[in-house]
């Protein structure tokens, strides 16, 4: 629901203005928050106590080259990928599959981000061009983009999932993970085409929380494996992706 | 402190006081049930276009630090809290301010603490 927060207007004025505002779900916020140009993440010198640094990986030289498509990326995703020993480059949300492939990535991560995934046809196209070419991981918005690229519908949840204790069941292992979440939209698993299948569900309301491809090195999660804030239990998802990347290079 | 109101499109009005910016902001009003992580929430780009209401009642109790920033600026349009902690207590805090809102920044450093956006914040009286 839209709201207006003000220290300048009366409630009548605020209500009047609210009637004229565009709908939240009609605005492409991704273009507002994403980087305008490519940059590489070299770690943060002020961040020696990086919350997610991976002690085992830090000593090794950079192994793999990961391109992160910025739909509104959180630094902790970059911190973790870098901490796992990768060179990390972040590209604008409008980058095409061709732009991304030119960077010769070993793997591509589609980041989280704000707003309605149905407005992001340009990211969907990039996703379609990359699946099958490179290992792909989608997080949150990136997960919704993957679902849409495979014919899935996305819809707005009544309240959304925002918090640090959402139980998610991994349908393959049967294990339940406590996850950090922040999403107002979800993928409807019913219309998925191709070899994409639902891999995780939310135990509170049964909505889709993860997808994976049956053949290709492609998967996504609706929740936040980077935590921050939230439980760190799911950082292993990045390790799983790196295994995929290394397997794919063989 | 100036009075502030949160008005929902269904006509509901909540009265409070502004802390942080004194202005007007609109967005989708959402709640977050995490008990910690207000700095990450404030700087998470996924909250673009939203006014965030943490359900945890006390905000600011561990200040603002250089490690927990998730993007280069405050992303929420507004932040609505129950109680603002005026004396944060933690060794990690770099901003033992009377408000969780950082007041200075040095954008040259990758670990810089973001400036508040024009967002308005409110707490109940």
Cβ–Cβ gap A18/B9 under 8 Å:
yes
**Rounded CA separation A228/B114 (Å):** 17
| Domain regions of chain B by residue span | 26-98+111-119
Contact B116, B77 (CB under 8 A): no
The CA–CA distances, whole Å, from B53 to A24, A27, B29, B86, B117 equal 17, 21, 7, 19, 16
Strands (E) located in A59-203: 65-70, 87-92, 107-110, 136-139, 153-170, 176-188, 196-202
Domain B26-98+111-119 has CATH 3.50.30.20: yes
Q: Which residues of A are catalytic?
A: 140, 224, 226
**Rounded CA separation A137/A237 (Å):** 9
Residue whose pair of structure tokens reads 């200040």 in the numeric block: B63
Structure letter (DSSP) for residue A119: G
**Rounded CA separation A104/A227 (Å):** 28
Contact B18, B2 (CB under 8 A): yes
Residue A232, chain B, CB below 8 Å: the answer is no
Strand partners for A229:
none
Q: Is A211 in a helix, a strand, or coil?
A: strand
Task: Give a yes or no: residue A16 inside a domain.
Answer: no
pLDDT (average), residues A87-104: 97
Burial of B85 (0-12, 13-18, 19+ CB in 10 A): middle
A144 CB neighbours in chain B (<8 A) are none
Interface test with A, best of B20, B23, B33, B46 (most A CBs within 10 A): B46
Residue whose pair of structure tokens reads 């519908």 in the numeric block: A153
CA nearest to B43 within chain A: A74
A230 CB neighbours in chain B (<8 A) are 34, 37
Predicted confidence at residue A231, as pLDDT, reads 85
B7 CB neighbours in chain A (<8 A) are 3-6, 11, 14-15, 18
pLDDT tens by residue, chain B, 125 residues: 678 889 999 999 988 887 766 778 899 999 999 999 988 998 999 999 999 999 998 888 887 777 788 988 888 888 888 887 766 666 666 654 434 444 333 222 222 333 333 345 566 64
Query: Taking CB atoms and an 8 Å cut-off, how many pairs form between chains A and B?
Result: 180
pLDDT tens-digit profile of A165-187? 999 999 999 999 999 999 999 99
Predicted confidence at residue A56, as pLDDT, reads 44
pLDDT (average), residues A26-40: 95
pLDDT tens-digit profile of A129-170? 999 999 999 999 999 999 999 999 999 999 999 999 999 999
Asked whether the bond before A79 is cis by omega within 30 degrees of 0, the reply is no
CA nearest to A2 within chain B: B28
Predicted confidence at residue A55, as pLDDT, reads 44
Q: Tell me, what CATH number does A177's domain have?
A: 3.40.50.880
**A 28-57 residues with CB < 8 A to B:** 29, 32-34, 44-47, 49-51
Flag whether pLDDT at A117 surpasses 90: yes
Residue A143's closest CA among A244, A248, A241?
A: A241
A8 CB neighbours in chain B (<8 A) are 22-24
B46 CB neighbours in chain A (<8 A) are 72, 74, 112-114, 140-141, 182-183
Cβ–Cβ gap B45/A74 under 8 Å:
yes
Predicted confidence at residue A245, as pLDDT, reads 96
**A 140-169 residues with CB < 8 A to B:** 140-141, 159-160, 162-165
Mean pLDDT of chain A, nearest integer: 91
The CA–CA distances, whole Å, from B20 to A122, A167, A215, B27, B80 equal 37, 34, 51, 17, 11
**Rounded CA separation A172/A214 (Å):** 12
Predicted confidence at residue A8, as pLDDT, reads 87
Tally of CB atoms within 10 A around A78: 27
Task: Give a yes or no: residue A160 inside a domain.
Answer: yes
DSSP string, A15-34: HHHHHHSPPGGGS--HHHHS
Task: Give a yes or no: residue A192 inside a domain.
Answer: yes
Predicted confidence at residue B108, as pLDDT, reads 26
Tally of CB atoms within 10 A around A187: 29
ipTM of the modeled complex: 0.92
Number of domains composing chain A: 1
Predicted confidence at residue A233, as pLDDT, reads 86
Question: What residue numbers bound the domain in which A143 lies?
Answer: 24-43+50-249
Residue A241, both tokens: 């992706």
Predicted confidence at residue A128, as pLDDT, reads 98
Task: Give a yes or no: residue A18 inside a domain.
Answer: no
CB proximity list for A64: less than 8 A, separation 6 or greater: A85, A86, A87, A106, A107, A242, A245, A246, A249
**Rounded CA separation A13/A81 (Å):** 47
Residue whose pair of structure tokens reads 């007041």 in the numeric block: B103
**B 79-118 residues with CB < 8 A to A:** 80, 109-111
Flag whether pLDDT at A191 surpasses 80: yes
Provide the percentage of residues in chain B whose pLDDT is more than 70.
Answer: 66
Cβ–Cβ gap B122/A5 under 8 Å:
yes
């Amino acid at each position: 629901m839209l709201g207006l927060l003000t220290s300048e207007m009366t409630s009548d004025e605020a209500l009047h203005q609210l009637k004229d505002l565009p709908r939240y779900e009609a605005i492409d916020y991704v273009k507002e928050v994403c980087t305008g140009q490519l940059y590489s993440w070299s770690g943060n010198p002020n961040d020696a106590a990086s919350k997610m640094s991976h002690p085992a990986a830090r000593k090794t030289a950079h192994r793999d080259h990961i391109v992160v498509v910025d739909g509104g990326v959180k630094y902790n995703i970059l911190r973790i990928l870098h901490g796992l020993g990768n060179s990390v480059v972040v590209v604008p949300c409008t980058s095409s599959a061709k732009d991304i492939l030119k960077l010769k990535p070993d793997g591509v991560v589609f980041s989280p981000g704000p707003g309605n995934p149905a407005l992001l046809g340009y990211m969907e196209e990039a996703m379609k061009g990359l699946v099958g070419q490179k290992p792909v991981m989608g997080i949150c918005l990136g997960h919704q983009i993957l679902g849409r690229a495979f014919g899935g519908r996305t819809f707005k949840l009544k309240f959304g999932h925002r918090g640090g204790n959402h139980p998610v069941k991994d349908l393959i292992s049967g294990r339940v993970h406590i996850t950090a979440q922040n999403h107002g939209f979800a993928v409807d698993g019913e219309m998925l085409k191709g070899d994409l299948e639902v891999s995780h569900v939310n135990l509170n309301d049964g909505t889709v929380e993860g997808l994976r491809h049956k053949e290709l090195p492609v998967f996504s999660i609706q929740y936040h494996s980077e935590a921050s804030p939230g439980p760190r239990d799911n950082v292993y998802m990045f390790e799983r992706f790196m295994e995929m990347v290394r397997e794919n290079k063989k | 402190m100036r009075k502030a109101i949160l008005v929902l499109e269904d006509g509901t009005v909540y009265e409070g006081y502004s802390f942080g910016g004194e202005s007007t902001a609109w967005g989708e009003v959402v709640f977050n049930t995490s008990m910690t992580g207000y700095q990450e929430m404030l700087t998470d780009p996924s909250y673009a276009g939203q006014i965030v209401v943490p359900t945890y009642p006390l905000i600011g109790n561990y200040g603002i630090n250089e490690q927990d920033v998730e993007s280069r600026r405050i992303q929420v349009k507004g932040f609505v809290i129950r109680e603002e902690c005026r004396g944060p207590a933690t060794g990690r805090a770099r901003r033992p301010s009377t408000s969780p809102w950082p007041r200075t920044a040095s954008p040259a450093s990758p670990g810089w603490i973001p400036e508040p956006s024009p967002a308005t914040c409110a707490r109940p009286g």
